[in-house]
Amino acid sequence: MADTVRPRTLVEKIWDEHVVLQDEGAPAVLAIDLHLVHEVTSPQAFTGLRTRGVTVRHPERTVATEDHSIPTLRGTGRGLPVVDDQAAFQVAQLERNCREFGIPLHGVGSETQGIVHVIGPELGLSQPGMTIVCGDSHTATHGALGALAFGIGTSEVEMLLATQCLLQRRPKTYEVRVDGRLAPGVSAKDVILALIARIGVGGGTGHVFEYTGEAIRALGMEQRMTICNMSIEGGARAGLVAPDDTTFEYLHGRRHVPQGAAWDEAVARWRRLPSDDGATYDRSITLDASALEPMVTYGTNPGMGVAVTGRVPSPGDAPDEAGRRALDKALAYMDLRPGEPIAGRKVDVVFLGSCTNSRIGDLRQAAALLRGRRVAPGTRLLVVPGSQQVKAQAEREGLDEVFRAAGGEWRESGCSMCIAMNGDQLEPGQYAISTSNRNFEGRQGTGGRTFLASPLTAAASAIAGVVADPRPLVDRDPVTVEGR
Amino acid sequence: MPEPVTVFTSRVVPLPAENVDTDQIIPARYLKTTEKSGLAEGLFHDWRFTATGDLREPPFVLDRPKMQGRRILLAGANFGPGSSREHAPWALLSWGIRAVISTGFADIFRANSLKNGLLPIVVSPERHAALFDLLAADPDVELTIDLEAQEVRVGRGPASAARAGGAGRAASVAVPGVGAATAPSAAGTAGTAAALAAVGRAFAFEIDPFARKMLLEGTDEIGYVLGRLPSIEAWEASHPARVNTLG
Ligand code: SF4
């Protein structure tokens, strides 16, 4: 068990506390504090439980929402225009499973519904030091609060429902230190896209990222979530930021966090979580925040990114044959020419949403640029808040009016065009600039093409109708990127 | 529960693409199912079919007549990044694939595969390149995958004496001229001989020893953890719940 003298990292501390047992040669049986469930990756797991004749061990440590395949347009009441019968059946299955096993469901129609990785932190369910999992690869988002949070497959969902534990090998640790300060117009999304462009989509495989350094400390919680969210795009199953005063201020008073004396106790416990002085990581990398520019992806994986002032690379410059082939294939799919500037490429759709960038701070940034301006003719702006609470807050601030006045569409909360399961999707051949996390072929609709970028870059591009650098607009009209 | 896997021999489907993500393996619109079966149709769907649902011309590798029934996929580096969808291994298995060979696998894909009896086999970049060369020289070469011996062999031969019985963490070294290994079907050509020399007649592969044991015994991991409930209860008694989602 843990050697209490040896300096430990944040990840090791959380890991050690949650190991229930470990048989010789076997993975650890790891206790999980919070299990998040959505409609797409859970049905087969519930079927498995029924086949085994076992029940959900801890429904009160489990929480569900509907987000992936639900429509973002709806009338009143429950008559949902779900995209097809199969999706409707899947949503109905989740509702039945939650009822039968006593799992709380923040479903459509509830004022707490939203994308699973938006509502966890928002409701105060995700807390420092916890182990958090979901049948969803972007579960790392919750690592922003100082939790060990990672995605699992459906077989593991079933194991977790049955036992509240998982079989896991201890992950290796990877420190991602971001020194310096971000320039105006550059935000968390640019940090994570720059990291992945540097290490590649498999760079963090087998590891958990811990994001450290001055630039990370200076970020607010939502921006930290944006960074942790895309850890998986760098190959790491989890990514964390050590909890600090920013974390505690964010959590204080939220629905599921301890109150009164219990709050003080929790904060005291959380203050012991950060990595000890002298703790070592298996790997590390350092980025200089002040050198970063807004980033845009040009290819078909999130590692294919360049500064918005940059050019599409040439396959000839790839270091090896496989790299050349990959770039050739990506540029053919994207219909981009080697060496052309990425700025100025036409965009048909601007998608502002997803568990990466659909929180209130993201919407505020985009709205700050769009206020008093119009989306370019021929460009469609789709704004999909991450949760009903984000939506309500945005409406209190009049952001919905800003988006509508600019010519954008203001929708109900859900995953929407991030995964294009609900009918919100690109037409074949269309280009989107998207604040989501994946630019894989067909991700936003069969044949659709995706440029990943920050909310600021997406908003500037909506106004220009082409991929555009947000900094000239930001310089004219300083935008506060949500800080502490 | 996955059926126990021990040893099988198959020709190989080559897919020389890097970073093949789970959205390509099975597009999101196939995730609306509430079953594990029937996903073969969606496997690599958008690489196989045009927007109007016709087979692409020339056909994607899986749709070439000679590839039917092959159970081993030789893929480019870093196979399976992206989403946690277990539908990816389910779809590969539905089509008939039982092992994927690459230089590396994304963590969640690898875990999901092992839980379903799909073997993710990691080889060095050099051997990976040599395997593609071997396949180029002899597209119908057979490989035998032996989970018990933790060994891949060219041809149909028996386990090499060096690691019969599953010596575990044996180094990845070629074991030349082993036993009755049949020669590749186009043996004799210089290209095949060179590639075969680079691959080795047999080589060991690493696999999580626990996953291997579970697969060989056909044991169910959930059953294993359920069998540890007393320890889980004891842990829970000394670690108060962090949150009450019903509260
Ligand atoms: S918003 Fe996109 S990435 Fe996030 S949970 Fe939904 S589908 Fe997954």
pLDDT at residue B171 is higher than 50: no
Give the pLDDT score at B4: 59
Predicted pLDDT of residue A48: 96
Question: Domains in chain A, start-ordered, CATH in brackets?
Answer: 9-168 (3.30.499.10), 172-291 (3.40.1060.10), 295-476 (3.30.499.10)
CA A237 to chain centre: 12
DSSP B147-191: TTTTEEEESSPPPPGGGTTT-SS------TT-TTPPPPTTTTSHH
Quick one: three-class SS letters along B88-135? HHHHHHHHCCCEEEECCECHHHHHHHHHCCCEEEECCHHHHHHHHHHH
By Cβ distance, the residue of A153, A163, A165 closest to B84 is A153
More confident residue, A76 or A92: A92
What would the mean pLDDT of A103-118 be, rounded to a whole number?
A: 97
From the CB of A418, is ligand 1 less than 6 Å away?
yes
Range of lowest pLDDT (A27-41, A325-339, A469-483): A469-483
State whether B32 and A84 contact (CB < 8 Å): yes
Residue B51: which pLDDT band, with cuts at 50, 70 and 90?
confident
CB contact under 8 A, A54 and B226: yes
Mean pLDDT of A105-133: 97
Q: Which of B35, B81, B229 sits opposite A202 (nearest CB)?
A: B81
Q: CB B47: neighbour CB atoms within 10 A?
A: 19
Question: A271 pairs with which residues across the strands?
Answer: none
**pLDDT, tens digit (0-9, with 9 covering 90-100), for B107-123:** 999 999 999 999 999 99
What is the distance in A from the centroid of ligand 1 to the CA of A133?
15
Contact A419 CB / ligand 1 (< 6 Å): yes
- All residues of chain A having their beta carbon less than 8 Å from the beta carbon of residue B231 are 20-21, 29
d(CA A397, CA A417): 24
**8 Å CB contact of B111 and A153:** yes
What's the confidence (pLDDT) of residue A249?
98
Q: Do B222 and A162 touch (CB under 8 A)?
A: yes
Binned at pLDDT 50, 70 and 90, residue B188 comes out as low
pLDDT at B167 over 50: no
Inter-chain contact A153–B78, Cβ cutoff 8 Å?
A: no
Residue A332, pLDDT > 90, answer yes
Instruction: List the strands of the sheet with A62-65, edge to edge.
Output: A105-106, A62-65, A34-37, A131-134, A148-151
Distance A419 CA to ligand 1 centre (A): 7
Question: Which residue from A437, A438, A439, A440 has its CB within 8 A of the most atoms of ligand 1, so it is best to mutate?
Answer: A437
The confidence score (pLDDT) of residue A3 equals 53
**Token output for A32:** 């999980």
Torsion of the alpha carbons at B125, B131, B133 and B135, rounded to the nearest 10: -150
* A291: β partners: none
* DSSP codes of every residue in A269-309: HHTT-SPPTT---SEEEEEEGGG---EEE-SSSTT-EEETT
- Nearby residues of A476 by Cβ (< 8 Å), 6 or more positions away: none
pLDDT computed for residue B59 by the predictor = 97
A155 CB within 8 Å of a chain B CB: yes
pLDDT of residue A2: 52
Which range is least confidently modeled, A416-420, B28-32, B170-174?
B170-174
* SS3 of residue A268 by DSSP: helix
Is the beta carbon of A226 within 6 A of some atom in ligand 1? no
A-chain residue closest to B49, CA distance: A446
Q: Which CATH superfamily is domain B7-172+184-238 in?
A: Aconitase, domain 4 (3.20.19.10)
d(CA B52, CA B65): 22
Mean predicted confidence (pLDDT) in A179-192: 97
Q: Return the closest-CA partner of residue A231 out of A257, A251, A205.
A: A205
Contact B246 A60 (CB under 8 A): yes
- Enumerate the residues of chain B whose CB falls inside 8 A of the CB of residue A52: 222
Whether chain B has a CB inside 8 Å of the CB on A310: the answer is no
What is d(CA A231, CA B82) in angstroms, rounded to the nearest whole number? 11
Residue A80's pLDDT is: 64
Are A175 and A199 within 8 A, CB to CB?
no
For residue range B56-79, what is the model confidence (pLDDT) as tens digits? Answer: 999 999 999 999 999 999 999 999
Give the DSSP H or E segment for A134.
strand A131-134
Chain B hits for A27, CB-CB cut-off 8 Å, are: 208, 210
pLDDT band at residue B161 using 50, 70 and 90 as cut-offs: low
Residue B125 with chain A: CB contacts under 8 Å: none
Chain B residues whose CB is inside 8 A of the A200 CB are 78
Chain A residues with beta carbon closer than 8 angstroms to that of B51: 428, 446-447
Interatomic CA distance for residues A452 and A106, integer angstroms: 29
The two structure tokens encoding residue A192: 């994570």
- For B114, the closest chain A residue by CA position comes to A155
Specify which residues A266 forms β-bridges with. none
Nearest residue of B to residue A255 by CA position? B247
- Asked whether A382 and A409 are in contact (CB, 8 A), the reply is yes
**A201 shares contact with chain B (CB less than 8 Å):** yes
Band (B174; pLDDT cuts 50, 70, 90): very low
Alpha carbon distance B199, B176 (integer Å): 10
The Cα angle at residue A289 between residues A287 and A293, in degrees rounded to 5: 110
Compare A171 and B192 and report the one with higher pLDDT. Answer: A171
- The CA angle B112-B116-B120, to the nearest 5 degrees, is 65
- Closest residue in A to B103 (Cα) is A202
pLDDT value at B170 more than 80: no
- pLDDT number for residue A137: 97
- The partner residues of A379 in beta bridges, in order of sequence, read none
> Could you tell me which residues come within 8 angstroms of residue A169 by beta carbon, excluding any fewer than 6 positions away?
A27, A28, B208
**Segment A287-323, tens digit of pLDDT:** 999 999 999 999 999 999 999 999 999 999 888 888 9
How many Cβ contacts (< 8 angstroms) between chains A and B? 210
